[in-house]
Amino acid sequence: MFKQLSTKYFNWILIIGAILFVFEIIFFHGGSLFSALISGFFVYFSWKRLHSLWWKIVFAISLISFTFSFFNLLAIRFFIVAAIVFFILNYIKSTQEPSQETPEFPEKDYERETMTYVEPLFDERFFDDYRTEETAYQWKDVNMHGIFGDRIIDLSNTVLPNDTAVISIRHLIGNIEIYVPYEVEVSIHHSSVFGRASIFGEYHQRLMNKSIHYETESYSVTYPRVKIITSIFSGDIEVKRV
DSSP classification of residue 59? H
Nearest Cα residue to 186 out of 214, 212, 158, 163: 214
Answer with the residue of higher pLDDT: 20 or 118: 20
Mean pLDDT of the chain: 79
193 is a domain residue:
yes
* 137 shares its domain with 222: yes
136 and 225 together in one domain = yes
Say what the pLDDT of residue 226 is: 93
Q: Would 208 be classed as within a structural domain? A: yes
103 within some domain? no
In a domain, 116, yes or no: no
Cβ distance 184 to 224 under 8 Å? yes
d(CA 22, CA 15): 11
Claim to verify: residue 41 and residue 85 sit in the same structural domain: yes
168 has pLDDT over 60: yes
3-state SS, 115-181, equals: CCCCCCCCCCCCECCEECCCCCCCCCCEEEEEEECCEEEEHHHCCCCCCEEEEEEEEEECCEEEEEC
pTM: 0.55
**What does the pLDDT read at residue 239?**
93
**Number of domains comprising the chain:** 2
Same domain, 134 and 237: yes
Task: Note whether 237 and 214 are within 8 A (CB).
Answer: no
Distance between first and last Cα of the chain: 48
Give the pLDDT confidence score for residue 228 in this predicted structure. Answer: 93
Single residue among 79, 96, 113 that ends a domain in this structure: 96
Residue 101 lies in a domain: no
Quick check: is 107 in a domain?
no
Assigned domain for 121 exists: no
pLDDT for 91-135, tens place per residue?
A: 677 666 655 544 554 555 545 565 555 566 655 555 556 666 666
CA 48/CA 173 separation, integer angstroms: 13
Range of 210's domain?
A: 130-241
135 and 91 part of one domain: no
Same domain membership, residue 81 and residue 146: no
pLDDT, tens only, 220-237: 888 889 999 999 888 889
